[in-house]
Amino acid sequence: MYVAHVGDSRIVAGVKNRYNRIEPKALTIDHKPSNRSEIERIEKLGGQVLYKNGVPRVVWARTKHSHTGPVRRSTHVDHIPFLAVARSLGDLWSYQFEHEDYLVSPEPDITHHIIDPEHHRFLVIGSDGLWNMMSVYDAVRQVEKYSWERANKSGGRLLSHTISKQLVQTTINKWNARSLRADNTTAITIFFEFPRS
């Protein structure tokens, strides 16, 4: 399995260990402006990371709203702590002409993983709204528990869409319990079902 990842959504595998317990194995590293390597890359391109409401963000240097005419070195700019991700697709505003590169990079991390039918059970792909409220351990435990319950009630079929829905609902309930406005929350659960010989 190849994984091409950019941003702060996360992919976690549920993997059976030697004690027959399912454990989480993160397959991606979040591209956040709190990561030392991402800060160094951004600063090397002339950008910066500032905190806003306790969250590190990539700074958007934009001309003041009152500015008219061409942009020169003497043009006054506002420095706005903007995005809480260090890599994403489509953030053209972050292009640095001087360095011919993006502060918010579209370059993915690409990894290769061998799926072992004896150990790999499922993947959980979730947006940051999911992972901000739920640990990888809690997510894997919930998928493991729910998949067994559903498999036993549905004649052996794993209903991954209902498991994903439950992950999202559990997360939204956690956002609400903390009286916080929920971040976008998406989950996809993929089960590995291997043919039996």
According to DSSP, residue 171 is labeled: H
Backbone angles phi, psi at 114, to 5 degrees: -90, 125
- Domain range for 165 is 2-30+109-191
For residue 119, the SS3 value is coil
The domain boundary residue, chosen from 102, 124, 143: 102
Residues 23 and 57 in one domain: no
3-state helix, strand, coil in the chain (%, to 5): 25, 30, 45
* C-alpha angle 36-41-44 in degrees, rounded to nearest 5: 120
The average pLDDT across 163-188 equals: 92
| Same structural domain, 115 and 167 | yes
Residue 196 lies in a domain: no
Q: How many domains does the chain have?
A: 2
Which of 158, 159, 126 is CA-nearest to residue 12?
126
Q: How far apart are CA 78 and CA 61, in angstroms?
A: 6
- Map 131-170 to HEC letters: HCCCCHHHHHHHHHHHHHHHHHHCCCCCCHHHHHHHHHHH
Judge residue 49's burial from the number of C-beta atoms within 10 Å of its C-beta, 0-12 exposed, 13-18 middle, 19 or more buried. buried
Is 74 within the bounds of a domain?
A: yes
Distance, in Å, from the CA atom of 149 to the CA atom of 40, rounded to the nearest integer, reads: 47
Determine the pLDDT at residue 26.
96
60 plus 85 within the same structural domain: yes
pLDDT category at 61 given cuts 50, 70, 90 is confident
Question: In terms of domains, do 152 and 185 share one?
Answer: yes
* 41 shares a domain with 16: no
User: Residue 197: which pLDDT band, with cuts at 50, 70 and 90?
Assistant: low
Least reliable range by pLDDT among 45-49, 86-90, 131-135, 149-153: 149-153
Residues 169 and 151 in one domain: yes
Residue from 48, 74, 42, 44 nearest 61 by CA: 48
Distance CA 77, CA 37 (A): 26
Same domain, 128 and 151: yes
Q: Are residues 25 and 115 in the same domain?
A: yes
Specify the higher pLDDT residue, 6 or 151.
6
Examine the domain organization and report whether 187 and 116 are in the same domain. yes
Same domain, 127 and 176: yes
